[in-house]
Amino acid sequence: MPMIWDWEGAFSGLECDVLVELMEGSGGVPAPVYGQTGERAVDPAVRNVVSAFQERSAETAWLFDRLDGLFAEAGRFFGTPLAPLSEPVQLLRYDSGGHFVSWHSDSGADLQGRRRVSVSVELSNARDYQGGLLEIVPGTVGRARTLPRGGARFFPSAAIHRVTPVTRGTRYALVGWTGDSPG
pLDDT (tens digit, 9 = 90+) per residue, 98-139?
999 999 988 866 665 689 999 999 999 999 999 999 999 987
Q: What pTM was computed for the model?
A: 0.93
State the DSSP string of 38-71: S-EE--TTTEE-EEEEE-S-TTTHHHHHHHHHHH
Instruction: Give the span between the Cα atoms of 129 and 142, in whole angstroms.
Output: 17
Instruction: Give the span between the Cα atoms of 2 and 105, in whole angstroms.
Output: 16
DSSP secondary structure letter of residue 161? E
Residue 59 pLDDT > 60: yes
pLDDT at 101: 92
Instruction: Give the span between the Cα atoms of 177 and 155, in whole angstroms.
Output: 10
Residue 183 pLDDT > 90: no
Residue 22 pLDDT > 70: yes
Sorted by where each begins, the domain ranges of the chain are 5-178
DSSP secondary structure letter of residue 147? P
Instruction: Give the span between the Cα atoms of 159 and 162, in whole angstroms.
Output: 10
Judged by DSSP in three states, 139 sits in: coil
Largest CA-CA distance found in the chain, in angstroms, rounded:
46
Percent of the chain topping pLDDT 90: 74
How many CB atoms neighbour CB 16 within 10 A?
21
Instruction: Give the span between the Cα atoms of 168 and 59, in whole angstroms.
Output: 32
Whole-number average pLDDT of the chain: 91
Instruction: Give the span between the Cα atoms of 103 and 156, in whole angstroms.
Output: 14
Buried b (16+ CB within 10 A) or exposed e, 159-170: bebbbbbbeebb
Instruction: Give the span between the Cα atoms of 145 and 173, in whole angstroms.
Output: 13
pLDDT at 34: 77
Looking at domain 5-178, its CATH superfamily turns out to be: q2cbj1_9rhob like domain (2.60.120.620)
